[in-house]
Structure 1
Amino acid sequence: MEQNLFDLTEKVAIVTGASRGLGQYQARALARAGADIVITSRKLESLQQIRAEVENMGRKVLPLELDVCKYDSIHKMVGDAYGFYGKIDILVNNAGCNIRKQAIDVTWDDWNKILDTNLRGSFFVAQQVAKKMIPVKTGRIINIGSVTSVFGYAGITPYCASRGGIKQMTMSLADDLGKYGITVNCLAPGWFKTEQSKLLFENKEWVEYLCDRIPLKRPGKPNDLDGTIVFLASDASEYVTGQTILVDGGISTGATRATV
Structure 2
Amino acid sequence: MRLENVWLRYRRRGPWVLREAAVRVGPGEVVVVLGRNGVGKSTLLQVAAGVLRPSRGRVTGRPRHVGWVPERFPADQPFTVAHYLTAMGRVAGLDPAAAAHAVDHWTSRLGLAGFHRVRLPELSKGTAQKVGLAQAMLRTPGLLVLDEPWEGLDAATRDLVPALIDEVATAGGSVLVSDHRGEIARLPGARRWTVADGTVTEAAPSADAPLAVVEVAVPAARVEGTVARLRADGHRIVGVRRPAEPAPDGPLPGAVDAVGAPEATGGTTGGSS
- TM-score, structure 2 as length reference: 0.31
The one of the two structures with greater contact order (alpha-carbon pairs below 8 A, sep at least 6) is 2
Q: Larger Rg: 1 or 2?
A: 2
The structure in which a higher percent of residues are helix is 1
Q: TM-score, normalised by structure 1?
A: 0.32
The structure whose residues are more often strand, as a share, is: 2
